[in-house]
Amino acid sequence: MKLGIVGLPNVGKSTLFNSLTNAGALAANYPFATIDPNVGVVAVPDIRLKQLGELYNSKKVTPATIEFVDIAGLVKGASKGEGLGNQFLANIRETDAIVHVVRCFDDTNVIHVDGSVDPVRDIETINLELVFADLEVLERRIAKTSKAARMDKTAAKELETLNKIKEVLEADKMARELEFEDPEEKAFVNSLDLLTWKPVIYAANVKDDDLADDGASNKYVAAVKELASKTGSEVFVISAQIEAEISELDEDEKAEFLESMGLTESGLDKLIAASYKTLGLMSFLTSGEDETRAWTIKIGTKAPQAAGKIHTDFERGFIKAEVINYQDLLREGSIAAAKEKGLVRMEGKEYVVQDGDVILFRFNV
């Protein structure tokens, strides 16, 4: 999973990236502190892995990971190459989803590129640049497809879809606001790699005193949530500054710090939960003496395709999947004890893998 962290200059984007990844990206109180995209890989916290690793005395425990890309600040006119626009837009195209950091606090000591705090305006600024960039892509594609559509039914159908999206963008709306029931049409739209088609998660960056009530009393957060609700986007409240402090602590200190703040989870935990929900992802687990590992798959994935995440041979030669829920396995203390109680199931090709399944795949190539 690859997430692009975006936002106008000085909204807390690079501070958040640093705290999430400890990658040391430059964070400064002026535009374009991030000149090149910074990349950091973050382990997905998962208590199940630690528990299973201890049960099996695994030599190695390997969590799922998320790749974060901190993308240079955007200004009006980016689609025309203003600021670092072209580079910014190219980097977004390579991500699975966009984490849009918006400033939801007043502070006269922190410059705002537009002179005042207005998260809805900030969101609309970036959205408009994405719309302009996608319109350029569509116009080129429409010109090319129009010629083929005269003689080709498939091209004619594609042209119809392209024009449908163009109409939405010209109304200053996002492509993701469209719904496509036809799987082939949806696959075609996916292949266009449009910026406005990518799912967005909004990170409302607040001061630490707004964290305890999750920004409930913050008028800026309320405005972001209202806007996000129109497109079904996730919003999570975060303090980039607090996350920076948390990132310096070990696990025990982190838990104490969160408790002292009246919090139950860190911003990273919130972001990961929002990302998995937005992208429709979940994890199944494999465990043994050599390794305990989490594997990220789409919700609804069947057993052979899940096996293919481990190795293509597993999918090609799939026979059966030996499945047990991780809670049942931990409670019984061993796979043998679980089998005695009939808690281990043998599942075939049509089995839809569930979050928290511990699976041993049987295959023959």
pLDDT by residue (tens digit) across 48-100?
999 999 999 999 999 998 888 887 655 565 556 554 455 666 777 888 999 99
For β-strands 281-287 and 291-298, DSSP reports them as antiparallel
Percent of the chain surpassing pLDDT 90: 54
Region for residue 12 given its phi and psi (left: phi exceeds 0; alpha: psi -120 to 50; beta: otherwise): left
Check if the beta carbon of residue 71 is closer than 8 Å to that of residue 88.
yes
Residue 229 contacts by C-beta under 8 Å, 6 or more apart in sequence?
A: none
Percent of the chain surpassing pLDDT 70: 90
The mean of the pLDDT values for the chain is 87
Number of neighbouring beta carbons within 10 Å of residue 144: 13
Give the span between the Cα atoms of 364 and 351, in whole angstroms. Answer: 18
Region for residue 50 given its phi and psi (left: phi exceeds 0; alpha: psi -120 to 50; beta: otherwise): alpha
Nearest to 197 by CA among 95, 121, 282: 95
pLDDT bracket for residue 30 (50, 70, 90) = very low
* Section 175-196 average pLDDT: 91
Nearest to 324 by CA among 294, 360, 291: 360
Give the span between the Cα atoms of 166 and 343, in whole angstroms. Answer: 53
First to last CA, the chain: 29
